[in-house]
Amino acid sequence: MKNGKNLTIRDIAEAAGVSAATVSLVLNGKGDISGVTRAKVLEAVASLNYVPRTSKSTAEPGETFRFLKIAKHGHTVNRDHSGFISDYIDGMSAEATRRNYTLEVVSFEGQPISSVAESLAGSPISGVVALGTELTEGDIRLIQGLGYPTVFIDTFFDVIDANFVDMNNEDAVFKVLSRFHQQGFRRIGFVASHVETTNFKLRRDAFFKNMARLCLTADETDVLSVESTYDGAYSDTRQLLADGLDLAECYFCTNDIIAYGFIRALREHGLKIPEDVSIIGFDNLPQSATMDPGLTTIEVSKRKIGYLAVTILDDLINSSEPQPAVKILVGADLVLRGSHEKVAQRSRSRASKHEIRAE
């Protein structure tokens, strides 16, 4: 079977049940093609991993990059996270301006990826940066297959031949767990989310891997699963507490929004932070610094990620030969505030309770 790079337009036409001319028109955004036919062609492109044969880009300084802000379901890309999206855009904009490109921002909320792909076909742009937070592997392949120099940010796939810039989740989670460990915590919980995003999965995997690395036991009963919005995390945590949840000494929350909802539910249940439960989040959203106590959390430079995405695009455009996929992970810092502090008496009490339960 041919791989994506060896396929031709005729192969796509056969798979979609249309003519080669129709495939060409769809991929170039031309012609009066129905939405149904366009969708069939784009689905064939995605399923066959088709990569158009392109020559070196002739883009010159002064042309345009397009940033695709994609919210497929809005459980992670929403108003609560507008701060970190703005940071990405700031990093991209500054570097695009320095390199004499124009940055164009286009938002898609609740639309199928085929609509995103259709909007790109034939666009007079030099390259694309796509927010990959809520994208699946299939979505990545579809956008990549349109033939534009493309970089995906805020997501990461090891085995896809595409360019990614993401935070180093394993390194970040190790810093969280190491901090808890240094303070003497042994029963460390994790507030995960059942919402499917790649970074959530990577943080969950990193939690178990780093617990083992630190010679700590990860108890499945201390791994909670909640919705990823503030209201959803709050509601789900309230239900867990009402059902008699036996709390761990401390929790790493998948992101700050989840931590905010989690903390609110704990407080309404009569618990204090950090006197009863210690918390660390992820993202360092602005509210984390103004809470009482402030939320200890992971800070990743979103501006650095945006800068790197534009740098990669410019290199792809100006290269004289095809380039291998670039996959960059940006390191993180742990921002220490009051929410993670250890209260010795509470800690001993919880540890004893856990030991009794385990016997």
58-167+304-330 and 169-300+334-358 in the same fold: yes
DSSP string over 66-107: EEEEEESS-SSSSGGGHHHHHHHHHHHHHHHHHTT-EEEEEE
Least confident of 21-25, 204-208, 241-245, 327-331: 21-25
The yes-or-no verdict on residue 339 having pLDDT over 70 is yes
Write out pLDDT tens, residues 41-97. Answer: 777 776 776 665 543 344 454 589 999 999 888 777 767 666 778 889 999 999 999
Mean confidence (pLDDT) of the chain: 86
pLDDT-based confidence at residue 33 (cuts at 50, 70, 90) = confident
Cα–Cα distance measured from residue 45 to residue 141, given in angstroms and rounded to the nearest whole number: 9
Answer with the residue of higher pLDDT: 22 or 102. Answer: 102
pLDDT at 61: 46
Domains of the chain by residue range: 1-53, 58-167+304-330, 169-300+334-358
Query: Percent of the chain, pLDDT > 90?
Result: 59
pLDDT in tens, 244-268: 999 999 999 999 999 999 999 999 9
What number does CATH give the domain 169-300+334-358?
3.40.50.2300
Chain mean position to CA 300: 12
Residue 204, H or E segment: helix 198-213
Nearest Cα to Cα of residue 123 among 137, 106, 142, 110? 106
Domain 58-167+304-330 class?
alpha beta
Q: What is the pLDDT, as a whole number, of residue 52?
A: 55
pLDDT at position 274 over 80: yes
Q: What percent of the chain has pLDDT over 70?
A: 86
- What dotted CATH number matches 1-53? 1.10.260.40
Predicted pLDDT at 131:
94
pLDDT per residue as tens digits for the range 109-150: 888 888 888 888 888 899 999 999 989 999 999 998 888 999
Position 357 confidence tier, pLDDT thresholds 50, 70, 90 = very low
The residue written with tokens 């309770």 in the block is 353
Kindly report the pTM of this predicted structure: 0.77
